Chain A
């Protein structure tokens, strides 16, 4: 368990990491959705 000393730094590092990843993943998916509005499904080779 985390001792109270330095808990803010330790928890802060996890918040920065997981929050940063979540924010970036959201941006990636949002950009994909925006581009997909102009590209028909049949032109997407992975679908």
Chain B
């Protein structure tokens, strides 16, 4: 395959993202091997503990994604650096965060069915997580409302700064309200060596995956903005021609 053909088939790829993608695939395969086969069952949770190796990393990634969205929104609103690149990274990160949060909710429901005998209960952790998920779906909807790129960036940055306040609410809900959802297993040292290692592999693999997804998505968003600008320029040129005639 020539460089030109490859560039058109994978227009947002670079050498770095290709290597990163390979590392992500290796990490996810490693995680599936350790999570499903090599790690031991838990004394209390038995087989159910295996869901932890994907549930915790996806939840961590969703938190990280929403915090990055908040930080990039500050970056955009900062008067000296009102650059649309901040906005695109914020939008890409939020979209990836919504995907990971959705996966966290589904894997949590499957784990809940094993542990509690029900897919869903309105306890504080589950409810606040669902609320966070819906909030960021709203954020993505607000990004699509139309207007200029800077109008989009401004209104979504303000919303992101409000939405990110929910992240600590979700995280500390298990401490503040003592729900059915378990407390932090990692911080309390409830996992043995191989379990910790498997969880660590999951965290690393999913973090690399997050970087890969955000890089590709924000580049695609940059091209979408260029296409929209081209359309606007063409429409303006057409109007000018009509006015001259």
Contact = CB atoms under 8 A, between A and B. Distances in A.
Contact of A28 (B9, B114, B217, B222): B217
Given A18-B32, A28-B213, A10 B226 contact: no
B99 A24 contact: yes
Contacts of B48: 6, 9-10
Q: Which of A3, A6, A31, A38 has the most CB of B within 10 A?
A: A6
A32 B51 contact: no
B12 A29 contact: yes
B12 A5 contact: no
A9 B37 contact: no
Contacts of A44: 11, 219, 222-223
Contact of A14 (B36, B219, B223): B36
B96 to A, nearest CB: 8
Contacts of B58: 17
B11 A14 contact: no
Contact-residue size bin, chain B (C-beta under 8 Å from the other chain): 35 or more
B220 interface: yes
A32 B111 contact: no
Contact of B111 (A2, A11, A13): A13
Contact of B219 (A2, A6, A21, A32): A32
Contact of A46 (B36, B96, B219): B219
Interface stretch (B100-108, B139-147, B159-167): B100-108
A46 to B, nearest CB: 6
Interface of B: 7-12, 14, 28, 32, 35-37, 41, 46-48, 50-51, 54-55, 58, 96, 99, 102-103, 106-107, 110-111, 113-114, 209, 213, 216-217, 219-220, 222-224, 226-227, 230
Interface of A: 1-3, 5-7, 9-14, 16-18, 20-21, 24-25, 28-29, 31-33, 35-36, 38-39, 41, 43-44, 46-47
- Pick the 9 closest A-B CB pairs, nearest first: A36-B11, A35-B223, A32-B220, A13-B107, A32-B12, A9-B110, A13-B110, A39-B223, A17-B54
12 contacts: A3-B47, A5-B47, A9-B111, A14-B36, A14-B54, A17-B58, A24-B99, A35-B220, A35-B224, A44-B219, A47-B11, A47-B14
